[in-house]
A and B are shown apart, each in its own frame.
Chain A
């Protein structure tokens, strides 16, 4: 059950020049949220920007006054306005929305594959996997450059196995996450059956989904989309899915997603 409430900014931290961590107080949303779900977040009052922005839930902070955190990167006017919201401001927040991740079987080795700001969806999943007694996941995390590898502290503090890559070679291996993923899929992450959880730019999702399908490994993709409403009525956020002789069918990222299985969607 989603809620539409004004959420108070409790803390708003700049992680670097264009990455921000926002802590919101909204106990109704925080209590109802599941890993992989998102909120529609107002970036400032008024009609410009007109639409709220879909934002993955980064973490739900476990305390009595449940708060939620959102990690985002400034990419345009909306996120720029958002980044100037000081603590104490109130932002209309609608959520939790979307289907969320399906947890893997207990014996499975989860592998999280993140590209750039896609990392914003994973801490909540990591904490959920731990709470539900799943195996600690392996994180494969790529970004353009060292500065774009944000939130590493969270994963280091939990002693997760990490494989890092940057396109410019400024941290970890030089290149794309697919290079790091290949040996993991070939070696089957030890003897355990892996399952991939993927979030990042569309070309990365596409490449990783293809690798997963080839290797016969289950794979959940977290999609991004232009999303005016978030509640399934505008039909604006659809993704093409395999259809029939009349062409593709379209499914709503906000409602049938944002998590889809590899092979379910045409990227």
Chain B
């Protein structure tokens, strides 16, 4: 690892075809369409941000209650509410012109055709730096099973999107709700993904003892926040060793120390999600604090931290050995 005594840290990172000015990216579904955070931060201080997931047509989402706080975490079942890809291109994206950060559009569909149609619409959009596929959406053609739990389905939808949007770096966001996330990562790689982002939320639920009903109207929701950090960190470490694509790690990252741990475990960049809810300036403060840590530790370039984890016995244990 390169070290030097003084001077600014090189915070820039490169993930395959995608270059970012720093490794901190705001995660999909926690950052709106970017504009919402202008009262609190300069978008140009971020490495990038990922939009709310976009579908072909606008979606209204689930009935409330949609969220529930849990110990050091929260459940959400928003139901993929969004303005739709046309309104994004007509209204949201033009408003971001010159914002000085990488804009990544999150894409989902209920069918493979919908993924392809949204990606095709985004291909060539000015100022768009990459697309991120959300594979946690239920596949209506396969009985509502999420795309991301079936390796052949992952490979197929990734390959189809790859063809539909050849001009854009393709990030594939993996669901952790699968026996071995490395298998999903390999399927995405084989389909043509440039970058993997992981993890999406863990399925969970909460019960209201008083009413004897599930708290969420949707019954099931996705768990996020610091509660999932060790789970996510393990999965990042595993995918880093097993797949060989650049990684955007996420899962409960709330401060610079969390981000640095994810980088050591194999992330080239990190995504900040739930922290944006309880601390709207968490992402930009993380950039400053990562810089300060690197100076203190005399790390010349933050990218050198990726995968720098020192294993006690020369390598990680097999997946099930505890």
Residues of chain A touching chain B, judged by Cβ–Cβ distance below 8 Å, are 1-2, 4, 42, 47-52, 78, 92, 94, 225-226, 228-229, 231-240, 243, 246-250
Contact = CB atoms under 8 A, between A and B. Distances in A.
Interface stretch (B177-185, B197-205, B271-279, B302-310): B271-279
Contact of A238 (B29, B66, B73, B225): B66
B7 interface: no
A229 B276 contact: yes
A51 B75 CA distance: 12
B64 A239 contact: yes
Given A226-B65, A235-B78, A47 B72 contact: yes
B225 A235 contact: no
Contacts of A229: 30, 276-278, 280
B81 interface: yes
Interface string B26-43: 000111100011011000
Contacts of A2: 39-40
Q: Which 4 A-B pairs have the closest CB atoms?
A: A236-B67, A233-B32, A229-B277, A47-B226
B71 to A, nearest CB: 6
A220 to B, nearest CB: 20
Contacts of A238: 61, 64, 66, 81
Contacts, number: 99
A240 B74 contact: no
Given A50-B72, A249-B60, 4 more contacts: A92-B279, A232-B32, A233-B30, A250-B81
B65 to A, nearest CB: 6
Contacts of A78: 69
A236 B66 contact: yes
Contacts of A94: 280
Interface of B: 29-32, 36-37, 39-40, 52, 60-61, 63-74, 76, 78, 81, 225-226, 254, 274, 276-281
Contacts of B40: 2, 4, 231
B63 to A, nearest CB: 6
A226 B68 contact: yes
A234 B67 contact: yes
Given A228-B278, A236-B66, A240-B63, A50 B73 contact: yes
A51 B278 contact: yes
Contacts of B29: 234
Contacts of A232: 32, 36
Nearest to A230: B277
Contacts of B278: 42, 50-52, 228-229
A50 B225 CA distance: 8
A217 B65 CA distance: 30
